[in-house]
Chain A
């Protein structure tokens, strides 16, 4: 009898095929088409980048004539040689590390303050909305702020107080890697705060209460119990911050990135890291190569290989963060059952 029901339904299909059913079919296919094209877009962009990078350019008639990225780098014929690429890699890593050094403690501090110390008031609610919104403020605004506040105001002040003997020439009162790192840190601070606070919220109240019950002070509870328990979310937040910062170019253009830096921001001589120096950056290299480099001698392959590595780094960081976050949620979902 069950098969009868099935065939009945199928047989009645023509009778059922009213406007509503037809429309349902059309919309199903259309929305499915949109989703499929989104996936195709992602795979297509990745393939296009890899093709441009390794198949030696893909410019119609010129296909096969342009060298791949590896050849370009090994030949070193273009002005953008392995040296420039190396400098950009070092600059990117340095500025990201510096940013992490600033953003991680600050993010933890603010999240702990909001969760443990501030309590629930109307103004903490306001601050939370503000932080969420700051994550959506255009990155160029952070660059403008960094230039006006850090470079010209703070940097100018530092110059006046500490470097007054070399003054007409600015030391810190000009764009440099320190200001770039701090600007990026501000840009990514909301990401870290939101992630850490979410982690703290997900901790079972019993952890905190147990710690207090054993006579620990608030500070001891934070340092000894809450932060270690939520370390995963701290790491997740920092990883997401790094992933966001890797792709940002616009604010850096205002606060310290240059087309060509004669020396690296790190060296083997004391003080090892030169905070006032300008630096090169992979994202800016993509911009600059796209805009200015002479066509032909493999720049497209070079751009593609740099772009591809940026994308892959961001993708793997995002995936890693998602996995960590999932594991963290699972862990406390399990413990919550107890």
Chain B
């Protein structure tokens, strides 16, 4: 009997260990899985001697077709000699050549120039946007593939693969080929090309990791895209076939950070003020009733806050922007002024530090302040802004106020992050040893002085941690950004414009991205960035809180 029990115990222990370690591995391995999916994105392409890909039926027939098409291809070299120019190739092989797009390659002996028609004072004039140098001289070059690559064989027999708009070759095949007689390079599919000569069999080369890779610089620095006169930071994954995909993460990160910033600007003062009142001024009896009540705001899911904000708040905000600004500016001033002049009438008895009447009075003052703030905003708008701030801004400053704007996002996101900040900051303030405040009060300091000099230095790490966790919540919130930001990947610091965040982009685009395409990998990479960012912020906050607890022996 005893043996069986012991065996059961040992087996159960082993089973529990294995099972929970594997669960832990799965959740802690999330990072690894996302990284493993994302990181092949940065593999650098390499060229190897290739065979025709097996997905194509009848390689011989294909080769023949390709050779037939040689003569017709715009990029084939001998036909286009004009002075010292070797040839001109239109850069839109996939779509019909459009003169209006006005971008082409000018191929000379040792240099290829990508030109773009730019409107100047005397009409359209070509200007160079990218130069590709081939010092050894061009022997032959291909047309441009769907993924915007072209192959150049130089006179020394070295093969270079270029990406349009990047003057550095993406891949180079160092092993020289016998160039004599080779007069033509042609793509067989997206990753395979052949070098043709009249005498010999074509040489087939394939490029590994060409079409679904890019460099880190593509994601974070200015890039030249076709149809654009200057290098830009743009997020625009391929929407229609043939259009160039633009994967700059900067506008998305910008959108995420600015939304988080707007929300913190609105939520922080309210959350910290409320935390101070509940955690410091209120006696524990009232605190126990009020704190869970305020924390109930967390019961509103992001999608519900976003729904209310979109259907109820957005139309109002559009025509009541002035009233909103009036309220935000007036309410704190009126409340502070009434505190300055009225506080003595609502003072507590000596020895008592909390007045139950005060919140009621403050509620009244708030109502009056909100009403007068709105009226003031309206009045100022009528007097100085010709009746509408929105139209005035648009008329005089050319500032457009979009329906989905940073203010709207800031309010909704602020409500979402409010409970996080409030709850943790309040906990930090309340858990501070009471002696810190009472000692200072006994020495004759005012309540506020006792808070600033007694409580705050002790609670500060906890409050900072609360703000950091609120920031991380704001960065990761998806539904509010999805519904309210307009999802326009523009980069503007104006709170009156829309934005597009990383999280919302993931929700919109990931279900439609093909597995292991560039788009899919870039999205996984942005998820990785989001993960690392929030994990880093959370870890810092955790460590701060741990140290704070250990130091003050608070069992919170």
Contact = CB atoms under 8 A, between A and B. Distances in A.
Closest 9 CB pairs of A and B: A138-B476, A247-B301, A34-B273, A29-B339, A25-B343, A250-B478, A217-B9, A113-B20, A24-B446
Interface in A100-153: 106, 109-110, 112-114, 117, 127, 129-134, 136-145, 147-149, 152
B194 to A, nearest CB: 32
A145 B33 contact: yes
Interface string A288-326: 011100000000100100010011001100110010000
Contacts of A134: 27-28, 30
A334 to B, nearest CB: 18
A45 B412 CA distance: 12
Given A42-B293, A148-B37, A283-B303, A28 B274 contact: no
B506 A218 contact: no
B144 to A, nearest CB: 32
A133 B469 CA distance: 10
A38 interface: yes
Interface stretch (B104-112, B227-235, B529-537): B529-537
Contacts of A152: 515
Interface of B: 5-6, 8-9, 12-13, 16-17, 19-21, 23-24, 26-28, 30, 33-34, 37, 269-274, 276-278, 280-281, 290, 292-294, 296-304, 306-308, 310-312, 331-332, 335-336, 338-340, 342-344, 349-350, 358-359, 362-363, 365-366, 415, 418, 422, 445-449, 451, 469, 472-473, 475-479, 482-483, 503, 506-507, 510-511, 515, 523-524, 527, 530-531, 534-535, 538-539, 542
| Max chain B C-beta neighbours (<10 A), residue from A110, A133, A283 | A133
Interface string A21-54: 1111111111111111111111001001100100
Contacts of B311: 52, 290, 300, 303
Nearest to B541: A136
B449 A140 contact: no
A69 to B, nearest CB: 14
Contacts of A149: 30, 33
24 contacts: A17-B344, A33-B273, A38-B271, A38-B418, A39-B294, A42-B296, A52-B311, A58-B312, A106-B20, A109-B16, A112-B16, A129-B542, A131-B24, A136-B473, A138-B475, A138-B503, A142-B30, A220-B9, A250-B302, A287-B479, A291-B483, A303-B307, A307-B308, A310-B304
Contact of B507 (A243, A253, A286): A253
A36 B310 contact: no
A31 B279 CA distance: 11
A71 interface: no
Interface string A72-109: 00000000000000000000000000000000001001
Contacts of A30: 273, 332, 335-336, 339
Contacts of B451: 27
B270 A37 contact: yes
B115 to A, nearest CB: 41
Contacts of B27: 130-131, 134, 186, 189-190
B28 A38 contact: no
A145 B16 CA distance: 25
A27 B510 contact: no
A219 B510 contact: no
Given A29-B336, A34-B273, A311-B299, A253 B511 contact: yes
Interface in A208-250: 217-220, 243, 246-250
A148 B339 contact: no
B473 A249 contact: no
Contacts of A106: 19-20, 23
Given A35-B273, A283-B303, A250 B339 contact: no
B5 A217 contact: yes
Contacts of A35: 273-274, 277-278, 290, 294, 359
A33 B367 CA distance: 11
A220 B272 CA distance: 48
A290 B307 contact: yes
Given A26-B339, A37-B366, A310-B304, A141 B30 contact: yes
B34 A148 contact: yes
A291 B307 CA distance: 9
Contacts of B503: 138, 140, 250
Given A217-B8, A246-B301, A250-B503, A31 B281 contact: yes
A29 B16 contact: no
Contacts of A181: none
A286 B5 CA distance: 53
Nearest to A250: B478
A34 B307 CA distance: 24
A136 B539 CA distance: 10
| Max chain A C-beta neighbours (<10 A), residue from B28, B272, B296, B451 | B296
A29 B363 contact: no
B478 A33 contact: no
A26 B542 contact: no
Nearest to A13: B344
Contacts of B473: 136
Given A138-B503, A250-B507, A318 B350 contact: no
A254 B17 CA distance: 32
Contacts of A17: 344
B299 A32 contact: no
Given A36-B366, A249-B479, A137 B535 contact: yes
Contacts of A33: 273, 331-332, 335, 362, 365-366
B34 A315 contact: no
A79 to B, nearest CB: 17
Contacts of B308: 45, 48-49, 307
Given A45-B308, A138-B534, A144-B506, A28 B358 contact: yes
| Max chain B C-beta neighbours (<10 A), residue from A23, A42, A138, A246 | A138
